[in-house]
Amino acid sequence: MTDTDDDTDADGDAPGADSVALDPWGSSTVSDYRKLFEEFGIESFEDVIDEVPDPHFLMRRAIIFGHRDYRPVLEAMRDGDPFAALSGFMPTGDPHIGHKMVFDEIIWHQQQGADAYALIADLEAHAARGLSWDEIDDHAEDYLLSLLALGFDAEAGTLYRQSANRELQDLAFELGAEANFSEFEAIYGFDGETDVSHMQSVVTQMADILYPQLGEPKPTVIPVGPDQDPHMRLARDLAERTRFFKVTEAYASVAFDDDERPLVAAAYDVREQYAEDADSPRCTEAADWLRDDPAVAGEFDDETVDAVVEKLDNAGMEPLRPRVRFFDRQATDEAFEALIDAVAGEKRVFEGHVDAFEMSHETAEDLALGVEVDHGGYGFVPPSSIYHRFMTGLTGGKMSSSIPASHISLLDDPEAGYDKVKSATTGGRETAEKQRELGGEADDCPVYELYAYLLAGDDDEFAERVYDECVGGERLCGDCKEQAAQLMEEFLADHQEKREEAREVLDDLDVVLDSARV
């Protein structure tokens, strides 16, 4: 979840990059972003961009390429309901232009009405990176100054440091009770050599992700690079595990799991084909039909079909009838009784669950959430995430803090920024003649990325003109780099002037900048 200052968070599309393994602390890159849709269930941002009010240029240019469950955030944004945005920054070096993407995403969401949160992930930096507290202190202020200089509203938002936030650490302790080592081993590859502090830093990040919901459950978006997706998946799982109730669709007193339920629903939908009384199909009738006509279940694996048939047989002559089911996950006795009382209309109460026959799934979710919060539960809404592409380093390949020429720090002298751009690798041809004949390769050009990600700002027409002139052979690399270098110099000069102005704002905030640890 944290935006780091190492090779990981600033990777480009390096040749031979691993497109599947996502390691939040490693050096993995993504060679084909489309594979993330298939491998990890990340959805294309193209599917939701038409629903975004006044989308940010990072969204419009497909730099933000994917999302996980972003629609609840968009719905809250459009309806004026509460929602939040959060990101963390691991202070392992200077903030650079790769971090600016995340700063921009948090600020944009704040401008759309989000409760905005930004944090310094010092516990993670110490545990996972081995940085001393003095090293962390040297960089923590720089991240906050750049965030404020770019437009973060400190009065409306929340800034904090992990090690100084006791409420966060208490939440991490509670979430730790829902996680175990075998899970960390499977997700992150932890083993017997992994120190406990590193594992604790993961739980702390889970608490960061859910922290905006402590006062009130609400949709929350976390802008990240795809390498951070393992954190998002775990956070969503933990949010579900802390809930008092799980709400599902059901069709009989027997419980069907998430893989089995769609098959039961399909059998119910075609009940006229097999039921003696279509208004009251029996479970055994559905079981016989699935056995006798296996082609209907062709999209399901044999194991799922066999399990459903066995459960339907066991239910016997019980009617197959849709209902909403409230499972008691870890509710207090008082909360479970309150839920039973709150369910209107026909219902059946069992040990461990309640079935409601006159309630929509959406209404049931709202009811369960309200009862949970009223009885002291967290009521966490599974957090959403949006995913941005990694910037390519100025020298090609990775943008790495360990290779100064590959990145531009937001603290770089403006003239140094100019020089780095002038020395950058391009997607140009071998000669000017070939460039004019064949056009440049803007899609593989670190300099063009500077225009698209930063230098063109909100001006899509300018970004498109640079692209078209490059691939059309009208724009040569020397002139293109000169223009980009001048724009970078101007950006850095302006940003650093605003950083100085932001110092007064930061001084007035109740944010811990110096560690009390040794």
Q: In the prediction, which pLDDT does 292 show?
A: 82
Please state the rounded mean pLDDT for residues 104-129: 95
Alpha-carbon span 57 to 458, nearest angstrom? 6
Q: Order of strands, edge to edge, in the sheet holding 323-328?
A: 245-250, 323-328, 353-356, 347-350
Residue 409 domain-assigned (yes or no): yes
Q: In the prediction, which pLDDT does 13 show?
A: 37
Extract the tokens encoding 377: 């539960």
pLDDT over 50 (residue 324): yes
| pLDDT tens by residue, 286-314 | 999 998 876 666 678 889 999 999 999 99
CB of 220 closer than 8 Å to CB of 213: yes
The pLDDT-based confidence of 12 (bands split at 50, 70, 90) is very low
Q: Are residues 358 and 450 in the same domain?
A: no
The pLDDT-based confidence of 28 (bands split at 50, 70, 90) is very low
Give the residue carrying structure tokens 């993407």: 101
CB of 386 closer than 8 Å to CB of 52: no
What's the one-letter identity of residue 201? S
Q: Are residues 337 and 408 in the same domain?
A: no
Residue 92 domain-assigned (yes or no): no
DSSP letter assigned to residue 29: -
| Final residue belonging to a domain, choices 324, 355, 374 | 374
Residue 303 domain-assigned (yes or no): yes
Please state the rounded mean pLDDT for residues 390-412: 84
Least confident of 4-8, 444-448, 494-498: 4-8
| pLDDT tens by residue, 163-183 | 999 999 999 999 999 999 999
Q: Are residues 294 and 361 in the same domain?
A: yes
| Final residue belonging to a domain, choices 352, 374, 396 | 374
Q: Are residues 410 and 462 in the same domain?
A: yes
Residue 151 domain-assigned (yes or no): no
Extract the tokens encoding 212: 């905006």
**Which of 153, 63, 142 is CA-nearest to residue 410?**
142
Residue 273 domain-assigned (yes or no): yes
Helix (H) or strand (E) holding 448: helix 446-450
Q: Output the pTM of the full model.
A: 0.88
Q: Are residues 275 and 365 in the same domain?
A: yes
Least confident of 102-106, 145-149, 351-355, 427-431: 427-431
Residue 310 domain-assigned (yes or no): yes
Extract the tokens encoding 461: 């027409």
pLDDT over 80 (residue 491): yes
**Which of 136, 138, 158 is CA-nearest to residue 148?**
158
Extract the tokens encoding 35: 């594979």
Alpha-carbon span 158 to 403, nearest angstrom? 33
Q: Are residues 341 and 443 in the same domain?
A: no
Residue 424 belongs to a domain with what CATH number?
A: 1.10.240.10
CA dist list (Å): 354 to 187, 239, 240, 296, 351: 34, 22, 18, 31, 8
Q: Are residues 357 and 456 in the same domain?
A: no
Alpha-carbon span 209 to 300, nearest angstrom? 35
Alpha-carbon span 93 to 494, nearest angstrom? 21
Least confident of 4-13, 62-71, 240-249, 275-284: 4-13
Alpha-carbon span 135 to 126, nearest angstrom? 9
Residue 193 domain-assigned (yes or no): no
Q: Are residues 322 and 368 in the same domain?
A: yes
Please state the rounded mean pLDDT for residues 87-109: 94
- Higher-confidence residue of 190 and 236: namely 236
Extract the tokens encoding 317: 């002559």
CB of 452 closer than 8 Å to CB of 481: no
φ and ψ of 249, to 5 deg: -80, 150
Q: Are residues 453 and 498 in the same domain?
A: yes
- Total number of domains constituting the chain: 2
The pLDDT-based confidence of 33 (bands split at 50, 70, 90) is low
The pLDDT-based confidence of 21 (bands split at 50, 70, 90) is low
Please state the rounded mean pLDDT for residues 227-249: 95
What's the whole-number average pLDDT of the chain? 90
pLDDT over 90 (residue 37): no
**Which of 454, 457, 446 is CA-nearest to residue 424?**
446
Residue 112 domain-assigned (yes or no): no
**Which of 496, 422, 398, 399 is CA-nearest to residue 14?**
398
| pLDDT tens by residue, 199-224 | 899 999 999 999 999 999 999 999 99
Least confident of 36-50, 247-261, 488-502: 36-50
pLDDT over 70 (residue 474): yes
Domain span holding position 329: 245-374
Q: Are residues 414 and 498 in the same domain?
A: yes
Q: In the prediction, which pLDDT does 172 show?
A: 96
Q: What angle do CA 161, 229, 4 make, to 5 degrees?
A: 40
Give the residue carrying structure tokens 């960089």: 139
SS3 content of the chain, % helix, strand, coil (to 5): 50, 10, 35
pLDDT over 80 (residue 398): no
Q: Are residues 256 and 347 in the same domain?
A: yes
Alpha-carbon span 388 to 56, nearest angstrom? 12
Least confident of 67-76, 187-196, 286-295, 340-349: 286-295
Q: In the prediction, which pLDDT does 18 show?
A: 40
**3-class SS of residue 337:** helix
Alpha-carbon span 382 to 219, nearest angstrom? 7
